[in-house]
Amino acid sequence: MRVLLTGGAGFIGSAVADALTERGHEVVLLDALLPQAHGVEPDTRHRLVRGDVRDGDLLRELLPDVDVVCHQAAMVGHGVDPGDMPEYVAHNDHATAVLLAAMHEAGVDRLVLASSMVVYGEGRYRCAEHGLVRPGARSPADVEAGRFDPRCPRCDRFPAAELVPEDAAPDPRSTYAATKLAQEHLAAAWARQTGGRAWALRYHNVYGPRMPSGTPYAGVASLFRSALHRGEAPVVLEDGQQRRDFVHVRDVAAANLAAVEDPAPRGALDAVNICSGSPRTIGELAETLARACGGPDPVIAGGARPGDVRHVVADPAKAERVLGFRARTGFAEGVAEFAAAPLRAAVGQG
């Protein structure tokens, strides 16, 4: 198949490009090479078109004869402050709308969308008295006192976290999260209106070779690894016990390959968790990386960033059921590889 891969020169996109090509698919990469993700010109063996997904004229040139669009391009990460909002909306939501309109015009009816676990906000919680509950934002007083778990909104006790299935109600807590949920809504509307087929792959915490370094838009694994490379201790917020699901980029690429080769139901968007199925704590990631890099022990700093959530770990069952996807890279193996793998050059270095 011929695949247009947006964001194809990026961290995840480049791994997806390799996986698709190795399976024999023809891949065309479209990437704006945003400085938040690219410090230097990428070295790629694939056909790369430098351009913006918001350029409708360019999309009209690229989309004829395309079978599937794999849409990885996005402005990612926690960001700096609300001043980032216009850029997030422009690169994530407006760009997706332009892409979907161009796909409709070109008669391309299959989409694989890179979504994110951030659409869930806090994960799934069960109160001993009130059953499933949705905690609100953690209070500054609790955070200041070192009480980092969210409270039941009905009885004020601390509920237990559970695995999050895809039918959990979304509750985005950051600008990035809001834009990723909006991308899903746009793709769902496109699918309903056109009879198109769309997968929304909700990535959990992706790590691995080619992560960008030296940028506030990078993921926590890159921030820890970059600190250790400088000989500094990784700084862990809260108490380090917040849980996530860390999934290797090679597994994420395999999930995209499965989604490209297996069409979603017609006229719908189908969301799928892409995760390892083995939740770990942020502190455990920092400690494991520090040992693998031979660096200083992590520093537990307390506090919490606005918009951060405590626990969000995924239920992997649906991905195996509908895509035949199961992560293959174990945590210890993946982190050891990541500790020695090259990162992308720091932003501003070349």
Q: Which residues are catalytic?
A: 176
Residues sharing a CB contact under 8 Å with residue 70, sequence separation 6 or more, in sequence order: 3, 4, 5, 6, 16, 20, 112, 114, 256, 259, 260
Question: What gap in Å lies between CA 328 and CA 98, rounded to an integer?
Answer: 35
Residue 114 sits at φ, ψ, to 5 deg, of -80, 105
Q: How far is CA 202 from CA 272, 273, 343, in A?
A: 6, 5, 23
Determine how β-strand 68-71 pairs with β-strand 47-50: unpaired
Which among 203, 218, 212 is positioned nearest to 253, based on CA atoms? 203
Residues sharing a CB contact under 8 Å with residue 126, sequence separation 6 or more, in sequence order: 132, 133, 159, 160, 162
At 236 the three-state DSSP class reads strand
- Quick one: CA dihedral 120, 173, 74, 105, positive or negative? positive
For residue 307, the cross-strand partners are: none
- Which DSSP symbol is given to 272? E
For residue 50, the cross-strand partners are: 31
Determine how β-strand 160-162 pairs with β-strand 131-133: unpaired
Q: How far is CA 36 from CA 79, 80, 212, 250, in A?
A: 10, 12, 8, 22
Instruction: Note whether 79 and 137 are within 8 A (CB).
Output: no
SS (H, E, C) 108-131: CCEEEEEEEHHHHCCCEEEECCCE
